[in-house]
Amino acid sequence: MDMVKVKINGIEVEVPAGSTILEAAHKAGIEIPTLCYLKDINEIGACRICVVEVKGARGLVTACVYPVADGMEVFTNTEKVQKARKMNLELVLSTHNQDCLGCVRSGNCELQKLSKDYGIKDTKKWAGETIDWAVDNSAAHMYRDNTKCILCRRCVAACGVTQGIGVIGANERGFETHIASAFEQPLDATACVSCGQCIVVCPTGAIAEKDDTDKVWAALADPTKHVVVQTAPSIRATLGECFNMPVGTNVQGKMVAAARRLGFDKVFDTDFAADLTIMEEATEFLHRVEEGGTLPLITSCSPGWVKYCETYFPEFIPNLSSCKSPQQMFGAVAKTYYAQKMGLDPKDIVVVAVMPCVAKKFEVGREDQSAAGVPDVDVAITTREFARMIEKAGIKFDILPDEEFDSVMGEASGAGHIFGASGGVMEAALRTAAEVLTGKELEKPDFMEVRGTDKGIKEAVYTLAGKTIRVCAVSGLANAKEVLTKVRNGEAQYDFMEIMACPGGCINGGGQPTQPASVRNFVDLKALRANALYTQDERMTLRKSHDNEEVKALYAEYLGEPGSHKAHEILHTSYVARPIKY
């Protein structure tokens, strides 16, 4: 690799040829501010916040897209640079809704931080005409408020480039430019799949999930309700970020302790339902293989992916596993099996789910998700919403003792934990399917070929009991489109596929903690978060779903056996084609 030497504020640094000034400065330990730039997907140099001086160049240049050259000298904090950045920020603020106290991103807003860093006090300096954009509240999972939009286009890139969907873009021109859907359609009238990737990249409060915490507080305050909470596999690997802990810190024990202090009657682990999902899904897969059913079997844990399939590839609906997602399975079991054991009326049980995913808010309202005649899950909140509840309650998260989940639906295997990372569902299913097919215990339950967050498409071939099993794990919907198109055209063949809507899986879901571009561009969030889950799995004695004693008890006492008629009534669901409307 060719290397070049550059001086950044007098500090010599050697970087690969083709690097940008932004990347060279980072290596020199200097952070250049940005607002629009996102590595690989939104390299447009539009916001002009990253301007720097280059010796010999005419005028200021944008560090995020300007390539370095051998011997180049760059100055990132001259008076000229600071004045330009400050003016650009003032111009952005001149049309920005500055109701910061009422904004969900207050204290965690990239624009707010930069305004503070550059000492902007007179926000009316360039005051002029503004447009009072209406808030789009039409979708079940999020809202868009263009009065807080800075036209960075990160959301457009996340939707169009990362996910390959592109239901939002820049409408109009000049002063009236704004981010919206085609023909100004409300979001719920588009082919949006509710993945929420636009939310986690937004630098301000222009896009956010719909906050459902008031529903949770109301349930907790109602003495007639038995309120239980379930936390998804990936939450333990990300919640700590909301409390300034290092990325990839596993906070399972503190998470449980915080939930108890919020007042939930029981604190359960969705990973129990992940193990349950594997029991049903592995059984379904084996039945399809042995009986000539529709293949490839495709996982149904990711509601963003399921909605994408229903909308863009409805011909693959027969391939979808009929299993409910772990969130919904948990709710179904809570209002049937658990209700019976506790002597509770399902109508008096409130199931709250803490999820990495805003599409879960859409999922709770889907048809055929009411095993007990009432919705399986009552409220789905994101990692961010859960953190806000903890903060509001004055709970000192970082000093909490580690506590354990409640029993009956609290035990989980390592296989359940790794559901949160791309390839985790596939590996968990293979651990069980392999032992069922061979009748022998695996010497090593690790299927390394389907692991990793660096690749969006991972393929492998395994031989189990003389059967060749071709598998593929996909994350990110642009990747899903590529693979499914090949399958449809006969260019690729698989027996089993895992598809996750979000790149890297649930650890990078649309409901996860927001991180500024200064972190997203230089820190591998997906890898660090996934590592927390795989490390927990490796340290466990219980690593296979079919060895979970609480799951065994559920089948012995209530469901009968995996794939039974009763299991299908409670744990399985159906899907519907959602044709795109033009």
Average pLDDT over residues 572-577: 98
Q: Is there a single domain that holds both residue 383 and residue 414?
A: yes
Number of domains in the chain: 3
Band (172; pLDDT cuts 50, 70, 90): very high
456 in a domain, yes or no?
A: no
Band (581; pLDDT cuts 50, 70, 90): low
CA angle 345, 346, 352 (to 5 degrees): 130
Cα–Cα dist 320/366, whole Å: 16
Q: Is there a single domain that holds both residue 387 and residue 530?
A: yes
Q: Is there a single domain that holds both residue 183 and residue 256?
A: no
524 in a domain, yes or no?
A: yes
What are the angstrom distances between the C-alpha of 213 and each of 200, 217, 241, 375? 19, 6, 19, 18
Q: Which of 209, 235, 259 is the last residue of a domain?
A: 209
Q: Which of 92, 111, 145 is the last residue of a domain?
A: 92
Q: Is there a single domain that holds both residue 27 and residue 140?
A: no
Q: What is the pLDDT of residues 228-248, one digit of tens each?
A: 999 999 999 999 999 999 999
190 in a domain, yes or no?
A: yes
Average pLDDT over residues 421-444: 94
The kind and range of the H/E element at 380 are: strand 379-382
365 in a domain, yes or no?
A: yes
Q: What is the pLDDT of residues 373-392, one digit of tens each?
A: 999 999 999 999 999 999 99
Q: Is there a single domain that holds both residue 261 and residue 366?
A: yes
Q: Is there a single domain that holds both residue 198 and residue 272?
A: no
Structure tokens at 97: 């809704």
463 in a domain, yes or no?
A: no
Indicate the DSSP class of residue 555. I
Q: Does residue 126 have a pLDDT over 90?
A: no
Q: Is there a single domain that holds both residue 34 and residue 12?
A: yes
Query: Which amino acid, one-letter code, is at 396?
Result: K
Q: What is the pLDDT of residue 124?
A: 79
Cα–Cα dist 282/431, whole Å: 9
- We report the CATH number of the domain holding residue 343 as 3.40.50.1780
Handedness of CA 528, 533, 536, 541 (dihedral sign): negative
Q: Is there a single domain that holds both residue 262 and residue 316?
A: yes
181 in a domain, yes or no?
A: yes
Band (464; pLDDT cuts 50, 70, 90): confident
159 in a domain, yes or no?
A: yes
Which residues have a Cβ under 8 Å from the Cβ of 170 and sit 6 or more positions away? 151, 153, 156, 177, 178, 179
Q: Which of 169, 187, 209 is the last residue of a domain?
A: 209
Cα–Cα dist 186/563, whole Å: 41
Number of helices (H) and strands (E) in the chain: give both, helices first: 21, 17
Q: What is the pLDDT of residue 127?
A: 84
Q: Is there a single domain that holds both residue 199 and residue 261?
A: no
End-to-end CA distance of the chain: 48
The pTM is what?
0.96
Average pLDDT over residues 551-577: 98
Instruction: Kindly report the average pLDDT of the chain as a whole number.
Output: 96
Q: What is the pLDDT of residue 582?
A: 55
Structure tokens at 507: 């650890």
Question: How buried is residue 486: exposed, middle or buried, by Cβ count under 10 Å (0-12/13-18/19+)?
Answer: middle
Assign 16 to helix, strand or coil: strand
Average pLDDT over residues 466-495: 97
Q: Is there a single domain that holds both residue 9 and residue 32?
A: yes
Q: Domain span at residue 200?
A: 128-209
- We report the CATH number of the domain holding residue 21 as 3.10.20.740
Q: Is there a single domain that holds both residue 346 and residue 245?
A: yes
Q: Is there a single domain that holds both residue 288 and residue 377?
A: yes
192 in a domain, yes or no?
A: yes
Cα–Cα dist 443/460, whole Å: 19
